[in-house]
């Protein structure tokens, strides 16, 4: 955050909370120097200017991830970070995940999926064999970047049509995404939402972020948030509001959405209905919620070296699907959704048992 932006934010925060500029600057300095490494932008994004000191100290910065995630076993990190490896584990466990139709990579493959070993074979697949629509994503990616909902192909123009209304020549798409340096690209089924989900947010999928703690005694669900797509967005990631999407806090006991947030920080706002469908969120509960917790817990138990899982679970017309785990998942969504910092029980006990003090 630049100095001018900081001053404007501080003045707005003073108007909302009554906290003086000097008090804000002292708090920012204290939080920045703490083990949680809160940055200036996070102080305002997370609404810490309006929280007591004890609550401020529970929030964890994006920049503290290396310290927090040192409790993860590096050998298991490789499995969790690579979606194709994760799917192999889920396949062996008999747990549901989105079907993989093709893998773009010189050697990597997946049971029952086509192997596209070059840009040329990927282009041929897209023209002749692909079943549209489908979803394309790198096996290693974060925040939904380089993810595409591929709606169809304009054969006359030889262009792929995407879910947000944009398009790209087939050859260009094949060159850019058939051999990414970090690993394979996955073409998988486009998930059809459960009818109860579609009724509220439209004909698209929203994924729940389930944070599962994995102590020696077995996995324990900790927190959950629902990411809610809006407009023509091809992904449901929030990205600090830049994607135009929303998110909601999930009651772990019932699967009900307690509160939906449409903007954060100084522009904090909630929504009582989805802007595209007009359907109210009141009383909205996720279908097959207990089943979703069960499959995420079972998958976590099978990956004991990952002490903290952040599973993305889709609620499809054929039940919950494990889209991916995030062994170095972002903290902001979960902290925003619950309006509470991560660093409290039972997370603190888990961390103390395996990594030290946070």
Judge if 229 and 273 occupy the same domain. yes
Q: Give tens-digit pLDDT for 166-207.
A: 999 999 999 887 655 568 999 999 999 999 999 999 998 889
Domain with 39 in it: 3-59
Q: How confident is the model at residue 344 (pLDDT cuts 50, 70, 90)?
A: very high
pLDDT for 227: 93
Q: Is pLDDT of 353 > 60?
A: yes
Judge if 234 and 292 occupy the same domain. yes
| Domain finish residue from 163, 189, 215 | 189
Q: Is pLDDT of 238 > 80?
A: no
pLDDT for 181: 57
pLDDT for 266: 93
In three-state secondary structure terms, 112 is: coil
Judge if 180 and 316 occupy the same domain. no
Judge if 126 and 238 occupy the same domain. no
CA distance 138 to 148: 10
Judge if 118 and 251 occupy the same domain. no
Q: Is pLDDT of 225 > 70?
A: yes
Q: Give tens-digit pLDDT for 289-324.
A: 999 999 999 999 999 999 999 999 999 999 999 999
Work out the burial of residue 283: count CB atoms within 10 Å of its CB; fewer than 13 is exposed, 13-18 middle, 19 or more buried.
exposed
Give the residue-averaged pLDDT of 262-280.
94
pLDDT for 242: 60
pLDDT for 180: 59
| Total tally of structural domains belonging to the chain | 3
Give the residue-averaged pLDDT of 254-276.
94
Judge if 153 and 125 occupy the same domain. yes
pLDDT for 358: 73
CA distance 68 to 327: 11
Judge if 155 and 76 occupy the same domain. no
- Quote the pTM value: 0.92
Give the residue-averaged pLDDT of 326-341.
92
pLDDT for 288: 96
pLDDT for 24: 96
What DSSP string runs through 229-287? --TT-SS---GGGTT--EEEEE-TTT-BEEEEEEE-GGG-EEESB-TTT--B-TT-B-T
> Which position has the higher pLDDT, 77 or 235?
77
Judge if 73 and 197 occupy the same domain. yes
Residues in the chain: 358
pLDDT for 176: 82
Judge if 325 and 272 occupy the same domain. yes
Residue 248: C-alpha distances to residues 186, 221, 314 (Å): 28, 17, 15
Are the C-beta atoms of residues 47 and 268 closer than 8 Å to each other? Answer: yes
Q: Give tens-digit pLDDT for 83-125.
A: 999 999 999 999 999 999 999 999 999 999 999 999 999 999 9
Judge if 113 and 169 occupy the same domain. yes
Q: What percent of the chain has pLDDT over 90?
A: 80
Judge if 199 and 183 occupy the same domain. no
Q: For residue 33, how many other CB atoms are within 10 A of its CB?
A: 10
Judge if 155 and 133 occupy the same domain. yes
């Amino acid at each position: 955050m630049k100095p001018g932006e900081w001053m404007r934010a501080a003045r707005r925060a003073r108007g909302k909370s009554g906290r003086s500029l000097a008090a804000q600057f002292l708090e920012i300095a204290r939080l920045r120097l703490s083990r949680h490494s809160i940055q200036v932008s996070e102080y305002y994004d997370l609404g810490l200017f309006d929280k007591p000191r004890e609550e401020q100290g529970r929030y964890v910065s994006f920049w503290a991830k290396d310290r927090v995630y040192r409790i993860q076993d590096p050998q298991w990190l490789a499995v969790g970070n690579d979606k194709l490896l994760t799917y192999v584990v889920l396949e062996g466990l008999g747990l549901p995940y989105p079907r993989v139709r093709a893998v773009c990579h010189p050697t990597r493959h997946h049971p029952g999926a086509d192997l596209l070993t070059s840009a040329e074979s990927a282009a041929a697949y897209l023209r002749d064999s692909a079943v549209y629509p489908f979803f394309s994503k790198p096996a290693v990616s974060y925040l939904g970047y380089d993810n595409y909902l591929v709606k169809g192909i304009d054969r006359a123009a030889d262009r792929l049509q995407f879910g947000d209304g944009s398009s790209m020549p087939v050859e260009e798409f094949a060159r850019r995404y058939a051999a990414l340096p970090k690993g394979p690209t996955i073409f998988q089924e486009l998930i059809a939402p459960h009818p109860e989900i579609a009724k509220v947010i439209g004909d698209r999928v929203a994924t729940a972020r389930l944070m599962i703690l994995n102590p020696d005694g077995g996995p324990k669900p900790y927190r959950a948030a629902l990411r809610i797509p809006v407009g023509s967005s091809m992904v449901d990631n929030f990205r600090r509001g830049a994607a135009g999407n929303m998110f909601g806090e999930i009651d772990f006991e019932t699967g009900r959405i307690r509160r939906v947030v449409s903007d954060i920080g100084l522009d904090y706002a909630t929504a009582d209905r989805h802007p595209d469908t007009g359907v109210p969120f009141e009383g909205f509960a996720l279908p097959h919620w207990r089943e979703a917790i069960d499959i995420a817990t079972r998958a976590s138990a099978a990956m004991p070296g990952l002490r903290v899982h952040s599973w993305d679970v889709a609620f499809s017309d054929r039940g919950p699907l494990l889209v991916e785990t995030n062994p170095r998942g972002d903290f902001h969504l979960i902290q925003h959704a619950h309006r509470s910092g991560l660093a409290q029980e039972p997370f603190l006990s888990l961390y103390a048992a395996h990594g030290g003090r946070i």
